[in-house]
Structure 1
Amino acid sequence: MKIKTTKYLNLIILFLLVQYTCGQKKSNYAKYSRSISKEVYLNNDTILYYSKKLEQSKDSCTIYDEINFEAKAKYLEGDYKTAEQKSLQVLEDLQKTKKNCLIVTKSNALTRLFWIYKNKKQYNKAYQTAIKRKKVIRGFGRNHILSDINTISAEINLAIIKDILGFHEVSRAVYKRAIESLPETYQKLIEKKYYTNTEEAKYFMLRNQSAFLNLLGESYLNYHKSFDSTDLDSASFYFKKAYDIAKQFDPKHENTETLFQLREANVLVARGEYEKSLEVINKYSKNQKKFNTSQNINSLKAICFHNLNNSDSALVYAKKYLKNYRSKEINKRKLITIYDILANQYHIKQKLDSAFKYSEHTLNEIKILEKNKNSVNKTHFLYNKKNIEDLNKKILEKERFDYQKLIGFIIIFTLLIIVFFVRKSKKITPHLSKVEKFDQQIVNPTAKKEYNINIEIEDSILQGLKDLKNSSNFLKSDFNIKILADELNTNTTYISYVINKKFQKSFKEYLTEIRIEYLINKLEKEKDHKKYTIKFLGEQIGYTNASAFTRAFKKYKGITPSEFIKNLG
């Protein structure tokens, strides 16, 4: 009897030990996951170390978390290709899952893909990925513990792309709502026991608040209109708020003050205060390798020295930036700026071959950037319906065919007329001028042509013109009717027809009007605008030289810009 009792006791002890061991393993896996989430610096070795620990688990949620963490490590290395493959693998494997923890894993994989596509400037893919993520989050169910925080994150993703497209007010409103909602969201996570440690919950909340405030600051910084724009005051205000919150992090981030000061250096550059910016940059250049700020510092110094006419130093830091530039780096805008600086500096030094080379690089990068922005605009516009797309494809194909026939007819007809007049008279010059004039009339008919446009298409074009006036796209020097047609997913013929019908203007006249009215509004409301040079004012609304701007202004208003400003008093 005693032996039997001992046997049962041993079995019970063994069972408890197994339970304890399993519990410990689960607890450890959770600890490893949290350790990766709280990783402050881009320490891939640490992430991979904890990731390998998770690999030992037999739980499906933990296994796929491990793949996501591997994708994160590759992403931080700049290996977007491998990171993308691993994230897509997770989505493929979990396509039909209904398990809650795996749905969360899918959401995390989509988040990683969003940042990969955004950083590669594949804005259309990034936007579509954010939309997919919102659909996945709806699968959580309204009562799911992570539903609210994931919804906020997905909305932020969409806002980032909209900000890039020029819908700044919409994006900023999203950022502000998200910041306000975070305390309540994290309090719910504490109440539902997602966080057992309130300090940990506070840490993640503060990290998100600081990140969203920096996004808000960057929105105002990146899209300011002039040196003294109030947008720059807003940028500084939100960067400072983000910094004040970051100082509360526990554990502390060593790079907090450096990153804040470099953001302020960017604001000073935007204000044209290059010497002050250099003082800040030099003061916070220590630990640039550890904090991964070397390229930011190189680009800022190149910009400052270029604008201070210190040609040699500008070239040194611009070349330094290019030498350390990796094709996987995310900031193409800075690359464009550096190419432009090199083109200008070599032009000053009369090294025309080098100037031309970097000028070509600048233009190519701008084309790539604008192409990606235009592609996502097609997704973003709400009135861009499939039946309009199909109809426009047919129209474009027909127009292309008709255009080819017309050109063929013009060539044959022109040749026949020339032959006729050559034979008829030796005085061919006046006859040829008539032919050329007639030829021009055929190619560019002045008579108003009526089109039977679907009312839905016409309304969508008018809405697009309204949205255009609310964005800053029309202020760019290279903006034209073709770019607008691509954004609205229609053709240039329809846009010209609708503008002529609605406003009795050509597209060029309409563009001139909205540009000059925009400037007049600025001149009337912002007194400091009157102090700027005519060349600078013209550049603000897309004119590349002062004389072209003056001609356009006088044609529209009947007086020159200088006379108009003088009349304002």
Structure 2
Amino acid sequence: MDLRSHFCFVIIAIFLGQPLSGQKEVFSSYYLIKKQYENRAENDSTALPIVKQYIDKARNEKNYIRLVEGYQDGIFYSAVSNKLKYADSAVFAAQLTKDKNIIGRAHLSRGTVYYFNFKKYKLALEEFLKAYEYSKKSDDKYYHNKVVYRLAVVKSYIGYYDEALILFKQTRDFFKKESEKNIHANLQYGNKRGYYNSLHQMSICYRNLGQQKKADSLTLIGLSLTTGDHEYQQEYGYFLKEKGISEFYKHDYISSITTLQRSKKYIANVDDFAWMTVCNSYIGKSYMALGEMKHAMPYFQKVDSVFQRHHFILPELRNNYEELIAHYQIEKNPLKELYYTKQLLKADSIITQDFPYLSSKIHREYDQRKLLDQKAKLETKFSRSYMLNLTLVVIALLLLLVLYIKFSKERKIKEQYKLLEQKILAASDLMQTKEPEKLKVHHKTDIDQKIVDELLGKLKAFEDRNGFTESGLTLNKLASRFEKNQTYLSAVINEYKGLNFNRYLSELRIAYITDKLYNDKKYLRYTIETLAEECGIASRNNFSDLFFEINGIRPSDFIKKRREDINKDNVRKEGK
């Protein structure tokens, strides 16, 4: 379908004296609207707003003949997804005209959309049969033969090649005779296309009937007529397709690949995905016959991608899936093998539905029962493999998580060790007595300053002689030794040390043992229990928790990092 053939009916109607409207003027207001878009390309949706003006005008004026024409234009210019909507509207509007010719042509248009754009052959056949009944009483022989051609195409597609051939011979003879007449260029163009397309379809029928010589003869005629003719590139592409398929069956695989690649360039221009998949299929088969499976695979996969997108497959493409299944069996890839087994079962379901006559005649490497059994086995195998892989993935993720946690912990330990090391190096006593005036501006206690000074002095001496390392030391005991009231001692520690007694004692002890661990190597050999006793803490767990709380690192981790540093220093010294 292209622009010139779309308007062919209009020209034919004029030549046959069948006006498209009741208006007598040649340049009507409808014509003035149509001339704004009539030279645009097929599927050019930018024309639709103007087409809508045409449709609205016809609807408002109840000019149903023009309304049908407007909807036909909508089919031509709209995207594929919207063509059926316009086709349905055209049939509805045609019924309002009560004109059998117009009604028949509307059904022909809807059938063409089903056939060409959606590959719904049963629905297309229903529409073409309706159009055929109307066309039998028509004086328009071109229109009648166009309907006959569409009927034959559907018959050919669903496998009735003998019946289709009879009809194609009829349309071939008619269109050939008409194209040789001295008629308007547009009429001649439409008839030539009808002739070439009839030759193409006859070639397909002969090929499928096993009469390859007759098929080749018609293909050569078609190529000789269309080669170099820019107006018939689509038809030229179709004849190239048949030539490439013929070369494949003659085992000339390299020529077949070259010819089919050329064919694809022309077929792609009209977005005929059905014949494109046929080309891809035979290119893949040719590569496979040459032993180049890696080159064949992409073409088989293209066929599958069209199947996924359009839910359409021709019976002759079915064995693509058999080749893919066999390939992945050899490759020991059960996942891919299962996928293509499922796709083959889907393809069989569609072939059975859309091509009932052919479905019983297709040679199948795998019958339905075998396919289903194979699918079940693959699913079981894949399920086990999947569970094993899933288990391995979970284990791997857990290991990664453990490693990540360990790495994060090591990094944090290293950071905390460096911070602690800086504190140790900065001062030998981490708990230096703070100046009263710096600690608090306003004292909360009412203790006499002399008592405060005396207690601070005794605390300084207590710290200097490491009195805090005594196990079981309490506030009451220390106050007794200082010969002071324990309330006074508690208040001074809180006020001037900024800590309660227990916390004050804990920080002195941890600071002391931390300093020993850093500066005295023998402490690095002590157990955690011994270290706790050394600084006056009775419980191992209490010591470890206090060490971590105050230093941000466990004592065992600190010891480990300190040993590493010492070993590194020793290695450097030995190196020098």
CA–CA distance in structure 1, aligned partners of residues 143 and 226 of structure 2: 22
CA–CA distance in structure 2, aligned partners of residues 479 and 110 of structure 1: 40
CA deviation string 1:143-184 (max 9, x = no partner):
x4x2x2222122222222333444322211211111112255
CA–CA distance in structure 1, aligned partners of residues 365 and 324 of structure 2: 21
CA–CA distance in structure 1, aligned partners of residues 201 and 34 of structure 2: 30
Equivalence for 1:529? none
2:288 aligned with 1:306: yes
C-alpha deviation, 1:270, in angstroms: 3.2
Equivalent runs, 1:292-441 vs 2, <5 Å: 292=271, 297-323=279-305, 327-328=309-310, 331-333=313-315, 336-374=318-356
Equivalence for 1:176? 169
**Unaligned regions of 5+ residues in structure 1, if any?**
1-18, 191-196, 226-230, 378-470, 481-569
CA deviation string 1:441-481 (max 9, x = no partner):
xxxxxxxxxxxxxxxxxxxxxxxxxxxxxx9955745999x
CA contact (8 A) 1:29 1:62 kept: no
Q: Which of the residues 199, 216, 220 maps onto 1:213?
A: 199
CA–CA distance in structure 2, aligned partners of residues 96 and 154 of structure 1: 22
Equivalence for 2:254? 275
Equivalence for 1:159? 152
2:184 aligned with 1:198: yes
Higher RCO, 1 vs 2 (CA within 8 Å, ≥6 residues apart): 1
Equivalence for 1:133? 131
CA–CA distance in structure 2, aligned partners of residues 73 and 326 of structure 1: 26
Equivalence for 1:237? 217
CA–CA distance in structure 2, aligned partners of residues 242 and 93 of structure 1: 38
CA–CA distance in structure 1, aligned partners of residues 270 and 129 of structure 2: 33
**Which amino acid counterpart does residue 178 of structure 1 have in structure 2?**
T
CA contact (8 A) 1:121 1:369 kept: no
CA–CA distance in structure 1, aligned partners of residues 326 and 300 of structure 2: 12
Equivalent runs, 1:11-160 vs 2, <5 Å: 23=27, 25=29, 27=31, 35=39, 43-45=43-45, 48=48, 51=51, 54-55=54-55, 58=58, 59-74=63-78, 77-79=79-81, 82-99=82-99, 103-118=100-115, 120=118, 122-138=120-136, 141-142=137-138, 144=139, 146=140, 148-160=141-153
CA contact (8 A) 1:121 1:372 kept: no
- SS of residue in 1 equivalent to 2:309: coil
2:253 aligned with 1:265: no
Equivalence for 2:3? none
CA deviation string 1:419-443 (max 9, x = no partner):
xxxxxxxxxxxxxxxxxxxxxxxxx
What fraction of aligned residue pairs are identical, expressed as a percent?
13
**Which amino acid counterpart does residue 212 of structure 2 have in structure 1?**
L
- SS of residue in 2 equivalent to 1:276: helix
C-alpha deviation, 1:284, in angstroms: 6.0
Deviates more, 1:307-316 or 1:111-120: 111-120
CA contact (8 A) 2:64 2:94 kept: no
CA–CA distance in structure 2, aligned partners of residues 350 and 130 of structure 1: 48
C-alpha deviation, 1:361, in angstroms: 0.9
Aligned CA distance change for structure 1 residues 78 and 273 (closer, same or farther; 3 Å): farther
Aligned CA distance change for structure 1 residues 235 and 28 (closer, same or farther; 3 Å): farther
C-alpha deviation, 1:216, in angstroms: 0.8
CA contact (8 A) 2:203 2:242 kept: no
Equivalence for 2:15? none
CA contact (8 A) 2:33 2:54 kept: yes
CA contact (8 A) 2:196 2:235 kept: no
CA deviation string 1:244-296 (max 9, x = no partner):
333586x6345554443233112222333322212334566667865658655
**Which amino acid counterpart does residue 332 of structure 2 have in structure 1?**
Q
**Which amino acid counterpart does residue 354 of structure 1 have in structure 2?**
K
CA contact (8 A) 1:217 1:236 kept: yes
CA–CA distance in structure 2, aligned partners of residues 136 and 326 of structure 1: 37
C-alpha deviation, 1:208, in angstroms: 0.9
CA–CA distance in structure 2, aligned partners of residues 478 and 310 of structure 1: 22
Deviates more, 1:269-278 or 1:328-337: 328-337
Aligned CA distance change for structure 1 residues 33 and 224 (closer, same or farther; 3 Å): farther
**Which amino acid counterpart does residue 269 of structure 1 have in structure 2?**
F
CA–CA distance in structure 1, aligned partners of residues 34 and 151 of structure 2: 30
CA contact (8 A) 1:166 1:472 kept: no
**Which amino acid counterpart does residue 202 of structure 1 have in structure 2?**
Q
CA–CA distance in structure 1, aligned partners of residues 168 and 69 of structure 2: 28
- SS of residue in 2 equivalent to 1:272: coil
CA contact (8 A) 2:238 2:267 kept: no
The two structures, once aligned, show a CA RMSD in angstroms of 4.0
Equivalence for 2:533? none
Aligned CA distance change for structure 1 residues 248 and 170 (closer, same or farther; 3 Å): farther
Aligned CA distance change for structure 1 residues 65 and 340 (closer, same or farther; 3 Å): farther
Equivalent runs, 1:398-547 vs 2, <5 Å: 476=363
Aligned CA distance change for structure 1 residues 85 and 224 (closer, same or farther; 3 Å): same
- SS of residue in 2 equivalent to 1:181: helix
When the two structures are aligned, how many residues end up with a matched partner? Answer: 337
CA contact (8 A) 1:87 1:112 kept: yes
CA deviation string 1:342-361 (max 9, x = no partner):
22221221212311320221
Aligned CA distance change for structure 1 residues 137 and 298 (closer, same or farther; 3 Å): closer
**Which amino acid counterpart does residue 106 of structure 2 have in structure 1?**
A
CA–CA distance in structure 2, aligned partners of residues 360 and 49 of structure 1: 44
Aligned CA distance change for structure 1 residues 207 and 297 (closer, same or farther; 3 Å): same
CA contact (8 A) 1:159 1:175 kept: yes
CA–CA distance in structure 2, aligned partners of residues 319 and 278 of structure 1: 16
CA contact (8 A) 1:35 1:50 kept: no
CA–CA distance in structure 2, aligned partners of residues 32 and 224 of structure 1: 48
CA contact (8 A) 2:237 2:266 kept: no
Aligned CA distance change for structure 1 residues 123 and 297 (closer, same or farther; 3 Å): closer
CA contact (8 A) 2:283 2:299 kept: yes
